[in-house]
A = this chain, B = another copy of it.
Amino acid sequence: MTASRVVRGEGGYSEKTRVKVMEQVDVLGYLPNRLATVFAGDQNSTFIGVSIPDLGNEVFAQVLEGIDRKLGTFGYQSVLGLTQHTQQEEENWIRTVLSWQPAGLILTGRYHSPRAMDMLRNAGIPVVEIWDLNSSPLDMSVGINHFDSGFDMGRYLTSLGYQNIGYVGTSHDTANAATERLSGFCKAVEGAGGAVVKQLCLHDTATYYPGFYGTEQLLAAARDIECIFYQNDAMAFGGLQYCAAKGLSVPDDIGIAGWGDLPIASVMNRRLTSCHVSHLKLGQKAAEMMMGRLTDEPVPTCTDIGFRLIPGSTVRNSGV
């Protein structure tokens, strides 16, 4: 017991005893067993479960980096779960991770299976839903409104005179953020009298190659496309490369717009039309909200971190 007090430095022991205990700590290479502490219920654990769809998408890697770094400064650890964009994987992971008594959970997306919802409510721990802003979250939410960001892009492209617009993305089985961007996009384009031709590739990750290949498929199916909006910048980059390979000039022959503003855009000589979201900040904010809740500070339920449309120069620069 006295040793426990010394190790925790909570006082109530003499200097002589402290030295003796610390000597033994060194000799034995003693490391406290945090399992026992948490198990006894005297303290909360310092685990935060973090679910991420996949790390092949640079965006989510950045979000995770933001989360883990910020959690680290508070002495918390991330327990990772890769859900591959499926609710079933997420549910399985939630069940497992809850059995480890985490202090809280950070989940990507706002759609969860009914059983997952039950478990989350039952667990009685803070939950932050990220990415998709959720106006009535389980607990807390931080992200952006994807529908609006798609809508803004649609309005922007139609304002430049584009009418026959393509969309290239991947098809995941869940109602996800990319789907909402597409909905917003279609609404804006169709509202302005334009039309959207969709091309969804069956590919597991939304990255360069499906962007290349999806562009080829789209242009084969619909030759009069004037402009293509992509699920994200990586796919848009694949599209740019397809155009370069086929001798299509951007933006003269075809316009290209991405989403997410990846780091790679920082070095491209032709600025990619895109939509900027601060992924790192999103992760950090999620971690901060979690920490705020765990220290009983007042925390807003919903934080919109916003987005910024980047006009770029891969679309024509004024209405025809």
A264 touches B267 (CB 8 A): no
Binds B, one of A8-16, A51-59, A138-146: A51-59
Binds B, one of A64-72, A167-175, A191-199: A64-72
> Complex formed: what's the CA distance from A93 to B65 in Å?
15
> Does A34 belong to the interface (CB within 8 Å)?
yes
B55 touches A211 (CB 8 A): no
> Does A95 belong to the interface (CB within 8 Å)?
yes
Knowing A212-B267, A267-B241, the reply to whether A33 touches B80 (Cβ < 8 A) is no
> Does A209 belong to the interface (CB within 8 Å)?
yes
> Does A295 belong to the interface (CB within 8 Å)?
no
> Does A221 belong to the interface (CB within 8 Å)?
no
What chain B residues lie within 8 Å of A97 (beta carbons)?
77
A267 touches B209 (CB 8 A): yes
Which residues of A approach B to under 8 Å, CB–CB? Answer: 29, 31-36, 38-39, 45-47, 50, 54-56, 58, 61-62, 64-65, 68-69, 72, 75, 77-82, 93, 95-101, 118-119, 122-123, 207-209, 211-212, 234, 237-238, 241-242, 244-245, 263-264, 266-269
B78 touches A65 (CB 8 A): no
What chain B residues lie within 8 Å of A100 (beta carbons)?
34-35, 47, 77
> Which residue in chain B gives the minimum CB-CB distance to A97?
B77
B75 touches A263 (CB 8 A): no
B32 touches A99 (CB 8 A): yes
What chain B residues lie within 8 Å of A62 (beta carbons)?
55-56
> Complex formed: what's the CA distance from A123 to B28 in Å?
11
What chain B residues lie within 8 Å of A39 (beta carbons)?
33, 35-36, 39
> Complex formed: what's the CA distance from A64 to B54 in Å?
10
What chain B residues lie within 8 Å of A264 (beta carbons)?
208, 234, 237, 264
What chain B residues lie within 8 Å of A29 (beta carbons)?
118-119, 122
> Complex formed: what's the CA distance from A244 to B47 in Å?
47
Knowing A69-B82, A77-B96, A77-B97, the reply to whether A119 touches B267 (Cβ < 8 A) is no
